[in-house]
Amino acid sequence: MKIAIGNDHAAGELKDVIMELILSMGHELTDVGAAAGEAVDYPIPGEKVARLVAAGDADLGVLICGTGVGISLAANKVKGIRAAAVSDTATARLIREHNNANVIAIGARIVGSELAKDIIKTFLTTPFSGEERHQRRIDMISAVEENFGK
C-alpha cells in the first residue's frame, strides 16, 4: 500500500520509529511531516496527509503530534477523511473494521513506541468489515459532510 505520514515537532522521534516499521512491512511511504528540529504547526501535516489520502495518492494516512488529537481534527476537515486519534490496539482494529477509518493519529506524548508500533501494525493490517450496518453508518457520516452548511 501507499502510506502518507505526517507529524509536528512533538513527534519527530516516534515518527522515525513508525517510518521504519511501515517500510519494513513493505509499504511505500510519503513523508510530509516535520524534519528533526523543525517546528511545524500540526494543522499543516494534518491537512497534507489528509489531502493525499482524499485524492487517492495514498491508501491510508498516519499522523503523529503530541496527543494525536489536534492533528486528527485538522485531517477530519478534509472531505472524505475519517481520522481517529487512537491509544490502544483494540480501537486501532475497530476503526478499520467498523468505521473504515482512512487516517490514524497517535500521540507521541501519550503512547510509548512499542505500543505505537502495535497500533500502527494493527491499523495497516485490518480490513474494513464491509458489513451493511457499518457501511450505512459511514454513508450517514458522508451525508453530514455533503449537507454541511445547507
Residues that bind ligand RB5 (CB under 6 A): 8, 10, 42, 65-67, 69-70
Compare residues 69 and 143 and give the one whose CB is closer to ligand RB5.
Answer: 69
**CB closer to ligand RB5, 37 vs 56:** 37
CB of 110 vs ligand RB5, minimal distance in Å: 9
Q: What's the Cα-to-Cα distance from 56 to each of 1, 68, 70, 120, rounded to whole Å? A: 11, 23, 23, 20
Catalytic choice (9, 27, 98, 134): 98
The conformational region for residue 32 under phi > 0 = left, psi -120 to 50 = alpha, else beta, is alpha
Give CA 54 to chain center in angstroms: 12
The secondary structure element, H or E, covering residue 119 is: helix 113-125
Residue 9 CB, shortest distance to ligand RB5, in Å, is 7
Decide whether 67 or 99 has the Cβ nearer to ligand RB5.
67
Place of cell 516516534: 14
Indicate if 65 belongs to the active site.
yes
Catalytic option among 9, 27, 65, 134: 65
Decide if 71 contacts 105 (C-beta within 8 A).
yes
CB of 135 to ligand RB5, least distance (A): 30
**Active-site annotation holds for 27:** no
| Set of cell numbers at residue 96 | 478499520
Q: What residues are labeled active site?
A: 65, 98
